[in-house]
């Protein structure tokens, strides 16, 4: 009940914001625009599909020129740019969390050519998909901290734990400390 009410309230706020004279620019303004919302939803729901301006305009029941102009006015970018951003975000997440090949990730986000995907990814993210994946791998310290932490422990507390003071004698006083060896 509360979720449905929140969704309805959010939709009303978006719609009111889009109808004011000083309507905000950006994705929320675009999503709140009643005529453009079907195109935005379609891009987010099916990013791997080969969307054309014609397809998106047909969803919104407006001309291609009107769709292109509205995207530019509301978002400051084209529908194609938005689709590329969505695809690159999905690809970056998939590269980070899975071991799928670059070609499989490319296909999953809507590229028919791995080379085209790699060019688009590097252009958008600044590094190649392989470099991105390598940068996302946890360091050795993070791996050891996770392995040493109990399942219900807060990882931040494990990393910040004080190291054993090597200068103090061990409990009982008879064993030498590492510093005395």
Could you give the angle at which helices 114-125 and 129-136 cross, rounded to 10 degrees? 60
The answer to whether the CB of 169 falls within 8 A of the CB of 178 is no
Which pLDDT score, from 0 to 100, does residue 30 have? 77
Q: What angle do CA 65, 70, 72 make, to 5 degrees?
A: 95
Quick: pLDDT tens for 132-168.
999 988 765 655 655 555 555 554 444 444 444 444 4
Closest CA to 79 of 105, 54, 100: 54
Residue 40: CB atoms within 10 Å = 23
In the chain, where the domains are located: 1-76, 83-163
Local structure of residue 25 (DSSP, 8 states): P
Which pLDDT score, from 0 to 100, does residue 170 have? 42
Q: What is the pTM of this model?
A: 0.64
Which pLDDT score, from 0 to 100, does residue 121 have? 96
Taking the C-alpha atoms of residue 133 and residue 94, their distance in angstroms, rounded to an integer, is 9
Q: Which fold has domain 83-163?
A: Arc Repressor Mutant, subunit A (1.10.10)
Which residues of the chain fall short of a pLDDT of 70? 1-6, 8-25, 139-181
Task: Output the CA torsion 140→100→134→142 (10° steps).
Answer: -20
Taking the C-alpha atoms of residue 137 and residue 129, their distance in angstroms, rounded to an integer, is 13
């Amino acid at each position: 009940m509360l979720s449905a009410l929140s969704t309805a309230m959010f939709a009303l706020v978006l719609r009111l914001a889009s109808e004011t004279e000083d309507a905000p620019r950006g994705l929320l303004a675009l999503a709140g625009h009643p005529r453009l919302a079907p195109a935005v939803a379609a891009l987010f729901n099916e990013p791997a599909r080969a969307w054309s301006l014609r397809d998106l305009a047909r969803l919104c029941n407006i001309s291609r020129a009107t769709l292109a102009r509205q995207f530019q006015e509301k978002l400051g970018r084209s529908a194609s740019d938005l689709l590329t951003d969505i695809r690159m975000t999905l690809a970056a997440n998939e590269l980070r969390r899975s071991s799928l090949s670059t070609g499989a990730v490319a296909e999953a986000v809507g590229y028919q050519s791995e080379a085209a995907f790699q060019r688009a990814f590097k252009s958008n993210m600044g590094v190649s998909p392989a470099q991105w994946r390598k940068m996302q791998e946890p360091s050795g310290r993070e791996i050891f901290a996770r392995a040493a932490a109990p399942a219900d422990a807060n990882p931040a507390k494990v990393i910040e734990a004080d190291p054993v003071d090597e200068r103090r004698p061990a409990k009982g006083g008879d064993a030498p400390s590492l510093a005395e060896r």
